[in-house]
């Protein structure tokens, strides 16, 4: 199976890309002192229809504004192990930091909430990142009941592989019975309302598969529990690397 853009990278703290991004030179200053450029096309998201069967979801082929994907790929955190990592545990470049701030803006939560008829603005958000996929990833599942809405923004180059394409499924047992398939190319976006039947998954893929995931969570306590679990998993992967080589 083809592996897209495989590189040799590390997750050690503080080893993000050095120096300011040529695409976002304003990011030399600390976050609170600098303007955050718009990277996401909110108009495209607003105009995208929501599908209601087998559960509420929508997809957009590309939500990134022109000229941003190259900078985001350059500034993506250095991750060489599978798994999902809390955004606070990785070090990316300035363009990547700007993207996270775009996702955390109140207007983004308001827009996604309006798509599903929900008020998400008062809910805590958990942002996580994945850089690599392993063989067992993509098994059919529903998200935890602590999550209200899940969003995924892919940050790969073009995606030609048959595996690694997210599928919105009709049931918990058949990966081929899907309502929609979302390729993991850069800018591809999907969001869905979490329910007991919001089954999703993808066919196996091993290699680089980059995305940001953001979840609106029902409470701060639930968010802290999820983040603690992800942090513990990240420590285990670092201490026992033999078991996390993407197989």
pLDDT at 225: 75
Round to whole Å and give the CA distance between 210 and 217: 22
Instruction: Supply 236's token pair.
Output: 């285990």
Round to whole Å and give the CA distance between 113 and 107: 10
Asked if 124 and 220 touch (Cβ cutoff 8 Å), the reply is yes
Burial 211-246 (b: 16+ CB within 10 A, else e): bbbbbbbbeeebbeebbeebeeebeebeeeeeebeb
CA atoms within 13 A on the CB side of 181: 13
Angle formed at CA 56 by CA 55 and CA 60, multiple of 5 degrees: 125
Length of the chain: 247
| Residues sharing a CB contact under 8 Å with residue 46, sequence separation 6 or more, in sequence order | 111, 114
pLDDT at 23: 38
DSSP-derived secondary structure letter, 164: S
Angle formed at CA 175 by CA 173 and CA 179, multiple of 5 degrees: 110
Instruction: Supply 228's token pair.
Output: 């603690």
Round to whole Å and give the CA distance between 62 and 141: 25
Q: How far is CA 75 from CA 101, 110, 131, 235, in A?
A: 14, 27, 12, 23
**What dotted CATH number matches 39-243?**
2.60.120.620
Question: Each residue's pLDDT tens digit in the chain (247 positions)?
Answer: 333 332 322 323 333 333 333 334 333 334 555 688 999 999 999 999 999 999 999 999 999 999 999 999 999 999 999 999 999 889 999 999 999 999 999 999 999 999 999 999 989 999 999 999 999 999 999 999 999 999 999 999 999 999 999 999 999 999 999 999 999 999 999 999 999 999 999 999 999 999 999 999 987 776 677 666 656 665 655 566 544 444 4
Residue of 113, 106, 111 lying closest to 42 (CA atoms): 111
pLDDT at 28: 36
How much is the pTM?
0.81
Q: How many C-beta neighbours within 10 Å does residue 96 have? A: 28
pLDDT at 94: 95
Q: At what angle do helices 94-104 and 106-116 cross, to 10 degrees?
A: 50
Instruction: Supply 233's token pair.
Output: 């998993």
């Amino acid at each position: 199976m083809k592996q897209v853009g495989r590189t040799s990278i590390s997750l050690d703290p503080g080893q993000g890309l050095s120096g300011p991004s040529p695409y976002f030179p304003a990011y030399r200053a600390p976050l609170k002192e600098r303007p955050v450029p718009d990277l996401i096309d909110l108009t495209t998201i607003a105009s995208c229809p929501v599908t209601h069967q087998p559960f509420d979801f929508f997809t957009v082929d590309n939500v990134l504004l022109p000229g941003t994907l190259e900078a985001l790929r350059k500034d993506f955190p250095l991750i060489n192990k599978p798994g999902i990592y809390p955004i606070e545990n990785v070090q990316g470049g300035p363009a990547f930091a700007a993207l996270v701030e775009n996702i955390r803006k109140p207007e983004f939560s308001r827009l996604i909430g309006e798509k599903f008829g929900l008020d998400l603005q008062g809910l805590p958000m958990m942002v996580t990142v994945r850089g690599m996929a392993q063989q067992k990833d993509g098994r059919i599942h529903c998200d935890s009941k602590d999550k209200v809405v899940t969003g995924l923004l892919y940050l790969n180059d073009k995606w030609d592989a048959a595996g690694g394409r997210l599928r919105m499924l009709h049931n918990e047992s058949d990966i081929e019975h899907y309502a929609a398939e979302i390729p993991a190319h850069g800018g591809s976006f999907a969001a869905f309302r979490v329910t007991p039947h919001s089954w999703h998954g993808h066919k196996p893929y091993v290699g680089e598969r980059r995305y940001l995931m953001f979840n609106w969570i029902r409470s701060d306590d639930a968010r802290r529990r999820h983040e603690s679990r992800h942090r513990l998993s990240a420590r285990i992967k670092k201490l026992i690397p033999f078991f996390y080589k993407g197989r």
